[in-house]
Structure 1
Amino acid sequence: MNHSNASPLNNTTRYLIGLTVAPVQDFIREARKAQDIWSGSLTLSLMMRAGLLLLRKRDAEVISPYFHEEDETPNERARPKLTNELKAVVHGDEHQARELAKEVCDAILKYWRKEMAAETRNQLIKAEILKESECELWDKQIDAQFQATWAVAPIVGEGFKAEREAIVQVQRLLGAAKLANRFESYLGDSRLKCSLSGQWEALGEPGDGPQRLWGHPGRRERGELAHRMHRLKFAKRELYWNLLSRLEFDGREKLCSSFVVKRLAPVLVLTRGEEGFPNPKDDLKSPLRFPSTLSVAWVEQKQRLARWVVQFPGELKEPLQNVLDAIEAYCNASDAPQGRHWLPCHDEILKEVKENSPDLHPTIEKLLRIEGTFLNDPAGQDRDDIRLDQMGLQLNRQDNPELKDKLKGLKNSFHELKCALDKVQNRANPELAIGEVRLGRTPPLALIRADADRLGELQDKLVKEGGFERVRLLSKFLATKVMPKACDAVERDCMGKVIFAGGDELVAMVPARLALKAVEAIASAYEMSFGNGEFQDLKSHCITASIAVSVIDPTGPLRAAIEHVSELLDGPTKNHARPNPLDSTKIKTRHALGLTIIPGSGNVRQGVIGLTIPCPEQPKIKSDCKQHTEQAKQIKATWRVVADVLEPLADALSLPEGCGIEISPKIYRQWVAEFDELQREANLETEANDRCPSLPENLLPKGDDPGVALGEFARMAERHIQINAIEIKNLIKFQVVTKWLEHLSVTLPNGSDLDSFKNNLIRALTWRLRALLEAGSVVKKNGESQPSRWAEWEQTRGLLLSIVSLATRESR
């Protein structure tokens, strides 16, 4: 435990305590699945909660984070929301303040070492899952995992100035303590290292003990852990279920003690006592049932499938029920967890089903609960080690005839459902506008991270104006207003799941197609008004956020995606520079959106742009591009969240069949590829002349000149946008398409004048692209910041290539 304190004064009766726990990011990011991020964040949140409870017991005034135990519901307690730093004011002399700081640190570390780690170890040893000899390094690893650092500063005198000086002192002392931080030395040995952290030895006896315990996937050998689990299956069913749903027993994982605790402590510790959570095995809506990435990725497709079943129960109810029965039979034979996760948006889906077809409620509820893996095509996985086997105990099909039969039944029933669904979708009335369901093709997933901009600067201003009370008020506003609104929007409106929402940071995952909608909702939550009530003292200030979105294949490794979205937010997004709209001589940074696609091919696409950009309403005229631009100059620009500008560009590529409008995804790819050669020449010229890259003056729009690029886009759009004269008559029946056209300010086609309709549509899309190209960007060269049209083109190029994947639901 590291500490630091400022020089006290004899007459000082108030002290400011600052405390931080580290390392945090590495502990959370080392993850193979979404459940790891959630459980790591929850572990740290509960540790800090133990320290805050002690501070409240000692009548200390907690400044941040905001914490009110009486307001906690079970769902809120299971949501990670407390950060690894806290500040509090204590009354007394310097010795009392230092002793209390030490006690709080001890309480935090004790919760980790005793309440979580020791309890997890005792239950595993008592159940004969682990032996004492296999936990030889347990205590060393647990004790070395976290370290608490504290600092104490006197509050000299009265008034806001004294309180600000105390905060500055504590932050400076904590910074110095972190730089001088030395973790306790840890001496390991030659055993196999943990497959998640790569830092510490995996559990197991010395020598090849970890391999014997966890198994060897390359040799298709299960370890002793899997055999012990079979013995536990009938003796302690509840513990068996908890372990089976959180650990892998096929040799793919070999975990150290810290990461075993990270995985298991939430269900082994939080389910104890009178105030414990209902065990997730018994309570289907337990907040400890955290969904997998595949379950979140598939939720929108599940909703569409439910609507198709409601519309065509005669054709789809029986095939769907057969698939659900086959999944249950397979899981019972293979010991594979069925998932059975519950998302907040499921309530709304079931409410819709209950209103239209009450008899389908049980079937649709089962559909929503199944693990997303089962909606991939099992017939396409004919290897001996199929993915469905990997969900359980890696039972070999040749050694288990029952499992082979159940898998065959699952494949057959899945094929029947797919054929029945294809027939229904092909002959369905277009006015249903339910949307296509693609069984067997995994939709991509969006990982979102948002963070308030310059919160430290805002807190410094507030403490100057109103002392600690204003900072406390800001913490309460973020905890009780911003985060609940953002969480509700993500989980209900965007069908996602929040992983962490505390302090000024939010981490969530949503189906990729709804990522831009989620960005708009999160930005709105951060920028909400302080109002005239409790928080009116903050009205002279505003909060903005920077948001990073990383779109991934949910079947791939999650660790790279976590690192990428964090690097995207902390690097390009928060450092994105563009001219300040209020003062063109100044540079504006942060308050930006970073969007990246990580396809399976590894060809990462990325774009960064201001989160809000000037975007005037589109002039409703029929003229050439130059006249269009001249009239546009007279229209006052309004500021829009950039996601609102990007969303119709993305939706253009996913219009339903039969609506009469067909837009090829090639429209964006070929457009940016057309000018890739100019971009390469600009880069070469930059390297040769050591100056900022530049593009031809006439390429991008400037003043009255729309530029060559937009003219070329309009020409390509003529080829890639097709209007079907027969199907267009049904356009009004497609509510999704009519809303999209309304968003673009394009009127519905009138009679046979389809050419004018097409021209208006092309102009509307071109107008959106122009807003992106004129959003502004700045590059630095030789220490000077210079506006760069090349950077504007680069950011637009990355954004367009990214939204192709968002719109088409393809992560390749």
Structure 2
Amino acid sequence: MEEKLLHFSLGPVQDFVAQARKTRDFWAGSFILSYLSGKAILEILNNKGWLVMPQVEVQRDNPDDLLAALQRVEQGESIINGPVVPTLPNRFMAKVPAGFDPRLCVEAVEKSWRKIAGAVWQNYLSAVADYGRDTSQIWKRQVNNFWEIAWVIGEDSALLDYRKNWRSRVLPMEPGDKCSLMGNLQELSGFIRSKEREKQDAFWSALREKVCGHELEEGERLSAVALIKRLFSLVAQEAIGWSVIKEAQRYPSTAYLAAVNWLSRVIKTCPEEARQYAARTSRLPKAQHQEDPDRFQSLQDALQQQPVAREFASLNGDCFFDACLANPNLWRDNKGCAGVEEELRRELREKLRSLVKKTGEAPTPFYALLLMDGDLMGALLRRHNREKVSSALNSFSSKVPEAVRRHEGVLVYAGGDDVLAMVPLETAIPLALTLREIYEASFHHAQVPAEQATISGALIYAHYNTPVSYTHL
């Protein structure tokens, strides 16, 4: 059978993934992008094509979990514990039959995106759209014109880059007030705040009530694309075939991530004081049961020895920083009323200082964002057999989740030669070194010289108050 080589790319990555306020937005953007790429890959497999890079076909001995789940859903199976780690890259190469039309991949992506968007609209926006001005038109314009999809046919691995350099995609104008997260897109109410503040506030108040306040913060005014990311976990069962709500709820705040190692020391050093602190902190709105300590091995081990401190380890990450306790705006309820008396916050600050004194240190307000990317991938593909390179990358990416977990990190994305993870300050450099060793070992096993298969990384140290989008720019 005559075959041709297809190069496919889905973007914009930076605009979709990096523009986030919550760590959960970060994860949702990565997951949706990976999921949509998987739908394009599945279209190729269903039409007797096969992947050159990455090698993740479902019939192999070590299939990619996300791609396998997509196939199971397509076959009508129900999935209880579906994959939550985005593992499929937004760019791939595949051998396809000579008569294959790449527009089938484009249609698969767009259809799946519309299904996700439709679930968010139907469940949350449709009931409040009348509070806005032309909200439906804004929604359709942004949903239908967001993705940039490029493909080419040919053997040269540089062809796709040439195609993307055409910059032929022209976006429609975005008038009006802009989204709080994605500043190039209009917010959904359609009102101008300087002239119609009350109407704009009424729209967002109605939507906030519809989705329950903690999903949409006071003052946030989002575009269609940003809102889809924010509410994706609530509609995933309907939109993709399995639930991801537990993963979304388990995603730690940046404040909690920064404090993880300190929390472990507090639990081991003074568990009773930690329990008492949690009991008093329970009077703060939005303080209890906000974080999942079981996501981190050090906290699991500490709580196994000192279970009385579990409530302490589940507190909102802001509860562990004096500056946050001193800020009354963080503890207001969604109606804007004062949540607690100043006296309680003063008492909690004193108790927090006592914990700091007993452990001998305060929690660091910094965490790290780790980005890693294989070097000179195009040259590597030209020098060596593509299947060997792809096999090595598949081996590498399959080992990344466990390495990140061992270093108390939170994996945002792992696919091909790319890694994105959030890590506590103390374990960031050890994790980067470990991942480099795994990368070199994966290529050594594939008989590719280590000096030709290298990986670069960047560590961005950020204060927990820094918006996630700023750390990734």
TM-score by length of 1: 0.52
| 2:72 corresponding residue in structure 1 | none
Distance of aligned partners of 1:185 and 1:521 in 2 relative to their CA distance in 1, 3 Å threshold: closer
CA distance in 1, matches of 2:162, 2:353: 62
1:386 is aligned to: 329
The 2-side partners of 1:553 and 1:71 are apart by 34
Offset, 1:179:
2.5
| Kept in 2: contact 1:449–1:548 (CA 8 A) | yes
Q: 2:375 is matched by which residue type in structure 1? A: D
Give TM-score, length-normalised by structure 2.
0.85
Q: CA shift at 1:13, angstroms?
A: 1.6
Q: Distance in 1 between matches of 2:442 and 2:303?
A: 36
Query: Is 1:458 the counterpart of 2:380 in the alignment?
Result: yes
Alignment-derived partner of residue 415 in structure 1: 350
Residue 93 (structure 2) pairs with residue 87 (structure 1) = yes
Q: How far apart are 1:457 and its partner, in Å?
A: 0.9
1:485 to 394, 399, 416: 399
* C-alpha separation in 2, matches of 1:410 and 1:404: 8
2:433 paired with 1:507: no
Tell whether 2:234 aligns with 1:247: no
- Residues 511 and 386 of structure 1: CA distance in aligned 2, closer, same or farther (over 3 Å): same
State the SS of the aligned residue for 1:46. helix
Cα shift readout 1:552-610 (whole Å, capped 9, x = no counterpart): 211123333212xxxxxxxxxxxxxxxxxxxxxxxxxxxxxxxxxxxxxxxxxxxxxxx
1:262 pairs with one of 220, 229, 237 = 229
Judged with a 3 Å threshold, the aligned counterparts in structure 2 of structure 1 residues 130 and 488 are, in CA distance, closer, same or farther, namely farther
Deviation at 1:17, TM superposition (A): 1.4
1:125, 1:131 within 8 Å by CA — same for their partners in 2?
no
Larger RCO: Structure 1 or Structure 2 (Cα < 8 Å, ≥ 6 residues apart)? 2
Structure 1 residues 504 and 303: CA distance shift in structure 2, 3 A: same
Counterpart residue number, 2:189: 204
SS in 2 for 1:192: coil
Q: Which amino acid aligns with 1:351?
A: D
Which one has the largest radius of gyration?
1
> d(CA) in 1 for partners of 2:292 and 2:325?
25
Counterpart CA distance in 1 for 2:281 and 2:129 is 28
Q: Distance in 2 between matches of 1:51 and 1:379?
A: 44
1:40 to 13, 29, 33: 29
Find the aligned partners of 2:449 and 2:130 in 1 and give their Cα distance.
57
Judging changes above 3 Å, is the alpha-carbon distance between structure 1 residues 322 and 352 closer, same or farther for their aligned structure 2 residues?
closer
Stretches of structure 1 that go unaligned for 5 or more consecutive residues are 1-11, 154-165, 216-222, 233-238, 281-285, 310-315, 398-402, 426-435, 464-470, 564-812
Find the counterpart in structure 2 of residue 103 from structure 1: 104
Amino acid at match of 2:24: Q
Distance in 2 separating the partners of 1:66 and 1:131: 48
The Cα RMSD (Å) is: 3.1
Look up the match of 2:317.
372
1:641 paired residue number: none
1:72 equivalent in alignment to 2:65 = yes
- Go from structure 1 to structure 2 and tell me whether the alpha carbon gap of 1:210 and 1:150 turns closer, same or farther (over 3 Å shift): farther
What is the aligned partner in structure 2 of residue 305 from structure 1? 266
1:612-632 CA-partner distances (Å, limit 9, x unpaired): xxxxxxxxxxxxxxxxxxxxx
**Is 1:295 the equivalent of 2:275?**
no
Q: Show CA shifts across 1:158-210 (max 9, x none).
A: xxxxxxxx2x1x632x3333232322441333x21112222121111344498
What residue number does 2:337 align with?
396
Question: Would you say the 8 A contact 1:226–1:393 is kept in 2?
Answer: no
SS for the counterpart of 2:158 is helix
User: For 1:521 and 1:111, how far apart are their aligned partners in 2?
Assistant: 36
Partner of 1:560: 470
Shift of the 291–476 alpha-carbon distance from structure 1 to 2, 3 Å rule, reads: farther
Asked whether the 8 Å contact 2:82–2:244 carries over to 1, the reply is no
2:284, 2:331 within 8 Å by CA — same for their partners in 1?
A: no
Q: Note if contact 2:369-2:423 (Cα within 8 Å) is conserved in structure 1.
A: yes
Aligned residues: 454
Identity in percent: 20
Deviation at 1:549, TM superposition (A): 1.2
Q: Which amino acid aligns with 1:412?
A: E
1:343–1:491 contact (8 Å) kept in structure 2: no
2: CA distance, partners of 1:515 / 1:185:
39
Work out whether residues 144 and 183 of structure 1, in 8 Å CA contact, stay in contact via their aligned partners in 2: no
Gaps of 5+ in 2: 67-79
Return the alpha-carbon distance in structure 1 between the equivalents of residues 45 and 413 of structure 2.
24
Q: Tell whether the 8 Å contact from 1:47 to 1:111 is kept in structure 2 after alignment.
A: yes
| TM-fit CA distance, 1:420 | 5.9
Task: State the SS of the aligned residue for 1:271.
Answer: helix
Aligned to 1:148: 149
Equivalent residues in 2 for 1:538-577 (5 A)? 538=448, 542-563=452-473
Residue 199 to residue 379, structure 1, CA distance change in 2 (3 Å): closer
- CA distance in 1 between partners of 2:148 and 2:335 (Å): 38
Structure 1 residue 520 and structure 2 residue 400: aligned? no
Aligned to 2:243: 277
Distance 1:130 1:541, change over 3 A: farther
Deviation at 1:451, TM superposition (A): 1.1
Shift in Å at residue 501 of structure 1?
1.2
**Cα shift at 1:27:** 2.1
